[in-house]
Amino acid sequence: MGSISLQKVSKVFGEAKVIPSIDLDINNGEFVVFVGPSGCGKSTLLRLIAGLEDVSGGKVVIDGKDATDAAPSERGLAMVFQSYALYPHMSVRNNIAFPLKMAGMPKEEIDKKVSDAARVLNLTDYLERNPRQLSGGQRQRVAIGRAIVRQPSAFLFDEPLSNLDAALRVNMRLEISELHQQLKTTMIYVTHDQVEAMTMADKIVVLNRGNIEQVGSPLELYRSPRNLFVAGFIGSPKMNLISGDYAKSLNAATVGIRPEHVSLSTESGDWRGTVTVAEHLGSDTFLHVNVDGVGPVTVRAGGEFGVKHGDTVFITPDKSRMHRFDDKGLAIPAAA
Amino acid sequence: MARKVTTRRKLVMTAIAWVLGLMIFFPILWTFLTSFKTEADAIASPPQFLFFHWTLENYHEVQSRSDYFKHFSNSVIISFGSTLIGLIIAIPSAWAMAFAPTKKTKDVLMWMLSTKMMPPVGALIPIYLLFQSFGLLDSRIGLVMVLTLINLPIIVWMLYTYFKEIPGEILEAARMDGASLMKEIAYVLTPMAVPGIASTLLLNIILAWNEAFWTLNLTASKAAPLTTFIASYSSPEGLFYAKLSAASTMAIAPILILGWFSQKQLVRGLTFGAVK
């Protein structure tokens, strides 16, 4: 089991209301990602679930039981920290065994569980080493190993990949996703990287200033962002948000179009613009275009779309994939 | 050109360091040399540096007049005892101040340090009277208690600075892993802080070993440590420099040897955790 329910949870640090009030249900076995810019309260929310911070109001319910006042060790959750937080004076084996020792498990059973975890995480050859003798990715795996041995009801990940280099990050992302497939345990994952959120999550919780902006599957958030914040946060490169006369002509305060939802031509189209920067990635080309009467727009072109700075291009947005927002920043449902 | 200046600067600095070092060391060296002189040579003018009649007589004399080993064992018990008890009290308090600070933590730390600013003689009479009524005068247990209290602020401060260097996430990880508070301190915090605890331990043993004010005032003979042993040679019947030097050499030798072998830890301790 591993269902977690937050009921009107709030957190105040001195004068600062970090989390005004949050209601959220996490189902057993789900991979939930909390995503948002730094300072949005996502790590605080995770620490409230872990019990490392006390809630200022509301209830934390784990597996149907009120855990609001339970100590971290009583909640049956395991956490992987951003800094890995390995015990530097213990070997890899003892690091992984630590939670089992604390639980008072017999030694033979501990040995067996540690070697099982080490096999799953490819750490068998490193069991006798100290954390400082390991690479970043290996340390991260030890931290994960320490979390999985005790078979917790849920895993909490606090930006676990942000200390790794880009290539390793992609690898570890896959490994964590695979681990979730294998274990089918609830995972709550905090990140500021929307790519991690999109690729790993069953359910994304977008947070901003301590409030939930939207909850949904990655594609739900991509297809129908509820407001401007989510529209701008999910998707890479960011959605183009256009206000002014063009938006007014469509009865909206702001309209949004994703860089990939336009067609491009060098001859004709709805919008005429000048390329300011062309980023050739090989598989894609991102063009930053200054469109007459609309403003700067980013568009995705095919991989070998041969334009450069100063060229004129014509852009035709796909009207059916255009998002409209009112003056409060909320999405206007597509006109019936 | 720049390089030339650097070399000269280095030479000057080295020379200054050596001069200062010798100045600091000279009294100890002189005491050591004097302990091998006869009383007449010890006060000879002009003083003789190395070419005098070397003798071990002073050491025989000192040992026959007073029991060195009794004072030595008193010193060991008092300094180790007070430091260990101090550590047992200070580790949890430094933990609390480093990892669960409140608004008042800084004030509490300052207040503890402020007790070191008061001249100890100000507390002598009340403490003497307390000792008298509880029958603690001239007892080792009494001295252990007093020295624990005297050095506790320093122990807490040093440990606090070391603990501050330990990332809080590691302790949080221990809490998530199911460790109770005591297990967190015993299995995670303390082993990680071993270098810091070791240097705190050493420095406080030295401080307690050399503490003279309280040991002189609160003991007579039974519990008297080496500080009292030295003092007994600067008697009203006149100064016996050679014997006083022999006693001093015998009193400082053990702690000097301890300090020599733990130099590395000590330097760390004296820089208060500033260097990693």
Q: How is residue B209 written in tokens?
A: 């070993």
* A151 in B contact zone (CB under 8 Å): no
Q: How far apart (Å, rounded) are the C-alpha atoms in residues B228 and A84?
A: 54
Amino acid letter at B57?
Answer: E
The chain B residue lying nearest A104, using CA atoms, is B178
Is B24 inside any structural domain?
no
Range of the domain at B220: 66-270
- CB-defined contacts A:B, below 8 A: 58
Reading chain A (336 residues) residue by residue, the pLDDT tens digits are 789 999 999 999 888 889 999 999 999 999 999 999 988 999 999 999 999 999 999 999 999 999 999 999 889 899 999 888 999 889 999 999 999 999 999 999 999 999 999 988 889 999 999 998 888 888 988 999 999 998 899 999 999 888 888 888 888 899 899 999 988 999 999 999 999 999 999 999 999 999 999 999 999 999 999 999 999 999 889 999 998 888 888 888 999 999 999 998 888 889 999 999 999 888 889 999 999 888 899 999 887 788 888 999 999 999 899 999 999 989 988 754
Task: Give yes or no for B187 touching A (CB within 8 A).
Answer: yes
With CB atoms and an 8 Å threshold, state whether A87 touches B188: yes
Listed as own residue / partner, the contacts of A165-172 with beta carbons closer than 8 Å and 24 or more positions apart are A165/A136, A168/A136, A168/A137, A171/A137, A172/A137, A172/A140
Answer yes or no: pTM beyond 0.90: no
Of B176, B179, B192, the CB nearest to A89: B192
- Please report residues of A whose CB lies closer than 8 A to that of B191: 89
User: Chain B contact for A20, CB < 8 A?
Assistant: no
| Inter-chain touch A73–B179, beta carbons under 8 Å | yes
* SS3 (DSSP) at A60: strand
Interchain CB distance below 8 Å, A99 and B177: yes
ipTM above 0.90, yes or no: no
Does B103 fall in a domain?
yes
Distance from CA of B271 to the nearest CA of A (A): 23
Q: What is the pLDDT of residues B43-62, one digit of tens each?
A: 777 877 777 788 888 888 88
Domains in chain B, number: 1
Q: Look at A71 and B175 and tell me if their CB atoms are within 8 Å.
A: yes
- A85 → closest Cβ in B170, B178, B183: B170
Contact B212/A108 with Cβ under 8 angstroms? no
Specify if B195 maps to a domain. yes
Is A78 touching B (CB cutoff 8 A)?
yes
Q: In what order do the strands lie in the sheet with A65-66?
A: A16-26, A4-13, A57-62, A65-66
Domain annotation covers residue B177: yes
Cβ distance of A87 and B174 shorter than 8 Å: yes
In chain A, which residues have their Cβ closer than 8 Å to the Cβ of B197? none
Contacts 24+ apart (CB under 8 A), A267-272: A267/A314, A268/A314, A269/A313, A269/A314, A269/A315, A269/A316, A270/A314, A270/A315, A270/A316, A270/A317, A271/A297, A271/A314, A271/A315, A271/A316, A271/A317, A272/A312, A272/A313, A272/A314
Q: Is B180 an 8 Å CB contact of chain A?
A: yes
A86 interfacial to chain B (CB closer than 8 Å) = yes
Q: What is the DSSP string of B31-96?
A: HHHHTTS-HHHHT-SSPPSS-S----HHHHHHHHHS-HHHHHHHHHHHHHHHHHHHHHHHHHHHHH
For residue B99, being part of any structural domain is answered with: yes
B175 → closest Cβ in A72, A88, A146:
A72
A104 to A79, A97, A101, B182: CA distances (angstroms): 19, 11, 5, 15
List the domains of chain A with CATH numbers.
4-228 (3.40.50.300), 240-325 (2.40.50.140)
Task: Tell me the shortest Cα–Cα distance from B179 to chain A, in angstroms.
Answer: 6
The nearest alpha carbon in chain B to A86 belongs to: B170
In a domain, B26, yes or no: no
The CATH code of the domain that includes B82 is 1.10.3720.10
Torsion of CA A36, A38, A43, A44, to 10 degrees: -110
**Tens digit of each residue's pLDDT (9 = 90 or more) over B175-202:** 999 888 888 888 988 888 888 888 888 8
